[in-house]
C-alpha cells in the first residue's frame, strides 16, 4: 500500500520503518503508537528527503524531546561555527535542531545541516525570505513566500514553523488589547508587518491549503507558530495569545484532513502558576496535538541565566502536557549563543525534560536515576561519571578537589554518610580520626 505521510500510513495500518524505530525507542507497542499518530497526538517529523535521519516521535506518552536553535545572522555570519554547533548538539543527543538563519543565501548551510544530521531539522521559512529574494519584506509576494516553504521542503527539512495563526482577525484582537512587550516572535513580527504594509491577509493563512499540498508531498510536519506568544510574564494568557491558539486549533483540523502532521508552538514568558492551565488550554483547543514550548521563561529579570528560568518552566510545562522543549541558553535576550552557551542550554533543557518524564511516568525514565543512586550507594565513582548527564563536567569537578579518602569527596571526607553507614552495616569501625585497619 502507498502512503503520503506518517499519519496517512498510520491511518491505513502501514508500519513504516520510522514507526517501527520510534516504537522500539519508546518501549511502546507499534499498534498503540500508530493509533496515537492517526489521531494526531503523536508526530514523527521525517521528510522523505532527509536520508540521514534517525527518527523520533513527539507527543502523548513519549519521552519529552528537546530542540536546539542555531543559524547565521548578519552580525554573526560564520557557517562553520554553526555546523560545529550542530555536530555538538547531535553528540549531546539533542533530538532536533532548528536552523533559524536569517541572513544571506542560507540554502547551502541548510542542505549541509540536513545531510549530516541524524536529528530532525526544523526551519522558519519567514526568516529566510528577505535574504532568499534580496528584497525588502513589503516587496515579497504571497507566491514568493510559499515558494520559500517549498524550497525548504525539497531540501529535506522535517518540520517548519508556519506563522498562519496571525490573520487579520487575530491582528485586530492584538491591536485592541495593548501589551507591555507587543510582538516578540521574530517571524510573527515580520508577518504582522507584511500584512500591514501590503494591507492583505496573511498568505500562510489565506493559502494554507497550498502549504498543505507541499507538506503532504514531502511529509513535512507543520509546527504552527505562536506569532503572539507572550514576551513578558505581564502578557501571558491574554486575549491575543488565546485568540491565535483558537485559530491554530482550526488549522490543525484542516491539516489532519490532509494527513499532514501538526505540532503547536507555545509560550514564551509565563508565571509559574499559569503554566499548567496553558498546557490544558492547548490540548483542548488544539485537539491533543503535540505542544512545543520555548521555556516557558518564568521570570523576566535574569538575563545571563535564562537557561535556568527556562528549565524551571520547561519542567513544569512538560510534566503537565508539553511534549517538546525548545532550549533556552544563558545568551537569551543578549546575543547569538556561542558554543558554551549552547552546551549549557542543552544540559539545562535535558534536565527539565527528564525531570518531567519521571513525573509523567514515562516507561524507563526512573531507571537512569535508580542506577545512579545504586552507584552512589556503592561509592562507585566511575559508574556515577558514566551515568551523569554531563560526564565531562562531573569528572572535572571530582578531579579538581582530591579527598583524603578516595572513596569520599572533599565536602564530607570521612564523615560521608554513605561511607559510614555502609561500614556500620558491614560491622566495621568507621575510623574518622585515624587510618582504617
The upper half-sphere exposure of residue 403, i.e. CA atoms within 13 Å in the direction of its Cβ, equals: 15
186 is annotated as contributing to ligand binding: yes
Q: Distance between CA atoms of 298 and 273, rounded to whole angstroms?
A: 9
138 is annotated as contributing to ligand binding: no
Q: Distance between CA atoms of 318 and 278, rounded to whole angstroms?
A: 11
Q: Distance between CA atoms of 326 and 334, rounded to whole angstroms?
A: 17
223 is annotated as contributing to ligand binding: no
65 in Cβ contact with 92 (< 8 Å): no
194 in Cβ contact with 137 (< 8 Å): yes
User: Per-residue confidence of the chain (437 residues) as pLDDT tens digits?
Assistant: 799 999 999 999 999 999 999 999 999 999 999 999 999 999 999 999 999 999 999 999 999 999 999 998 888 888 899 999 999 999 999 999 999 998 876 899 999 999 999 999 999 999 999 888 888 999 999 999 999 999 999 999 999 999 999 999 999 999 999 999 999 999 999 999 999 999 999 999 999 999 999 999 999 999 999 999 999 999 999 999 999 999 999 999 999 999 999 999 999 999 999 999 999 999 999 999 999 999 999 999 999 999 999 999 999 999 999 999 999 999 999 999 999 999 999 999 999 999 999 999 999 999 999 999 999 999 999 999 999 999 999 999 999 998 988 889 999 999 999 999 999 999 999 888 887 65
Q: Exposed (0-12), middle (13-18) or buried (19+): which is 103, by Cβ within 10 Å? A: middle
Q: Distance between CA atoms of 165 and 162, rounded to whole angstroms?
A: 8
176 is annotated as contributing to ligand binding: no
98 is annotated as contributing to ligand binding: yes
At residue 225's C-alpha, the angle toward residues 220 and 230, to 5°, is: 160
Q: Residues with Cβ < 8 Å from 138, sequence gap 6 or more?
A: 193, 194, 197, 198
Q: Supply φ then ψ for residue 262, to 5 degrees.
A: -135, 140
333 is annotated as contributing to ligand binding: yes
269 is annotated as contributing to ligand binding: yes
Q: Is the four-CA dihedral 226, 232, 236, 242 of positive or negative sign?
A: negative
Q: Supply φ then ψ for residue 339, to 5 degrees.
A: -65, -40
| CATH placement of domain 43-360 | 3.20.20.540
185 is annotated as contributing to ligand binding: yes
232 is annotated as contributing to ligand binding: no
324 in Cβ contact with 291 (< 8 Å): yes
DSSP per residue over 317-360, as a string? HHHTT--EEE---TTTTTS---HHHHHHHHHHHHHHHHHHHHHH
416 is annotated as contributing to ligand binding: yes
305 is annotated as contributing to ligand binding: no
**Domain residue extents for the chain:** 43-360, 366-425
Q: Distance between CA atoms of 49 and 209, rounded to whole angstroms?
A: 22
Residue 68, strand partner residues: 97
Q: Distance between CA atoms of 45 and 55, rounded to whole angstroms?
A: 7
How is residue 173 written as a grid cell? 484582537
397 is annotated as contributing to ligand binding: no
Element holding 97 (H helix, E strand): strand 96-99
The upper half-sphere exposure of residue 12, i.e. CA atoms within 13 Å in the direction of its Cβ, equals: 13
DSSP for residue 233:
G
Cβ neighbours around 239 below 10 Å, total: 14
409 is annotated as contributing to ligand binding: yes
Q: Distance between CA atoms of 87 and 112, rounded to whole angstroms?
A: 11
DSSP for residue 297:
B
Q: Residues with Cβ < 8 Å from 182, sequence gap 6 or more?
A: 231
364 is annotated as contributing to ligand binding: no
125 SS3 class: helix
71 is annotated as contributing to ligand binding: no
Question: What separation in angstroms does the CA of 178 have from each of 173, 234, 268?
Answer: 9, 11, 17
292 is annotated as contributing to ligand binding: yes
| Cis amide prior to 296 (ω within 30 degrees) | yes
Q: Distance between CA atoms of 220 and 122, rounded to whole angstroms?
A: 9
Q: How many residues are listed for the chain in this entry?
A: 437
306 in Cβ contact with 330 (< 8 Å): yes
Amino acid at each position: 500500500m502507498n502512503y503520503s505521510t506518517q499519519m496517512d500510513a498510520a491511518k491505513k495500518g502501514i508500519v513504516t520503518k520510522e514507526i517501527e524505530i520510534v516504537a522500539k525507542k519508546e518501549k511502546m507497542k507499534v499498534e498503540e503508537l500508530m493509533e496515537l499518530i492517526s489521531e494526531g497526538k503523536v508526530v514523527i517529523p521525517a521528510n522523505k528527503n532527509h536520508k540521514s535521519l534517525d527518527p523520533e516521535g513527539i507527543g502523548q506518552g513519549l519521552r519529552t524531546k528537546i530542540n536546539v536553535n542555531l543559524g547565521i545572522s548578519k552580525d554573526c555570519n560564520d557557517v562553520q561555527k554553526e555546523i560545529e554547533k550542530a555536530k555538538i548538539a547531535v553528540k549531546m543527543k539533542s533530538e532536533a535542531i532548528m536552523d533559524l538563519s536569517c541572513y544571506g543565501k542560507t540554502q547551502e548551510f541548510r542542505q549541509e545541516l540536513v545531510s549530516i544530521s541524524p536529528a530532525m531539522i526544523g526551519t522558519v521559512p519567514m526568516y529566510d525570505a528577505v535574504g532568499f529574494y534580496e528584497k525588502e519584506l513589503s516587496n515579497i509576494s504571497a507566491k514568493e513566500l510559499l515558494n520559500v516553504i517549498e524550497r525548504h521542503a525539497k531540501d529535506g527539512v522535517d518540520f517548519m514553523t508556519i506563522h498562519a495563526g496571525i490573520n487579520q482577525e487575530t491582528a485586530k484582537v492584538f491591536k485592541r488589547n495593548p501589551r507591555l512587550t507587543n510582538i516578540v516572535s521574530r517571524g510573527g513580527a515580520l508577518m504582522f508587518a507584511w500584512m500591514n504594509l501590503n494591507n492583505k491577509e496573511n498568505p500562510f493563512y489565506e493559502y494554507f491549503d497550498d502549504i498543505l499540498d507541499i507538506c503532504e508531498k514531502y511529509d513535512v510536519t507543520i509546527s504552527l507558530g505562536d506569532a503572539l506568544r507572550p514576551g513578558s510574564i505581564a502578557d501571558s494568557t491574554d486575549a491575543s495569545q488565546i485568540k491565535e491558539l483558537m485559530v491554530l486549533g482550526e488549522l490543525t483540523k484542516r491539516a489532519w484532513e490532509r494527513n499532514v502532521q501538526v505540532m503547536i508552538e507555545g509560550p514564551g514568558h509565563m508565571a509559574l502558576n499559569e503554566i499548567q492551565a496553558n498546557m490544558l488550554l492547548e490540548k483542548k483547543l488544539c485537539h491533543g496535538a503535540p505542544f512545543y514550548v520555548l521555556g516557558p521563561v518564568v521570570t523576566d529579570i535574569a538575563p545571563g541565566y535564562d537557561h535556568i528560568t527556562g528549565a524551571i518552566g520547561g519542567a513544569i510545562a512538560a510534566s503537565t502536557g508539553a511534549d517538546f522543549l525548545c532550549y533556552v541558553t544563558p545568551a537569551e535576550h543578549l546575543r547569538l549563543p556561542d558554543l558554551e552557551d549552547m552546551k549549557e542550554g542543552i544540559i539545562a533543557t535535558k534536565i527539565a525534560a527528564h525531570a518531567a518524564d519521571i513525573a509523567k511516568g514515562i516507561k524507563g525514565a526512573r531507571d537512569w536515576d535508580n542506577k545512579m543512586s545504586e552507584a552512589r550507594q556503592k561509592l562507585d565513582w566511575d559508574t556515577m561519571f558514566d551515568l551523569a548527564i554531563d560526564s565531562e563536567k562531573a569528572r572535572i569537578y571530582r578531579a579538581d578537589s582530591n579527598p583524603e579518602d578516595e572513596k569520599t569527596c572533599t565536602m564530607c571526607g570521612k564523615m560521608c554518610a554513605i561511607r559510614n553507614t555502609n561500614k556500620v552495616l558491614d560491622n566495621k569501625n568507621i575510623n574518622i580520626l585515624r587510618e582504617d585497619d
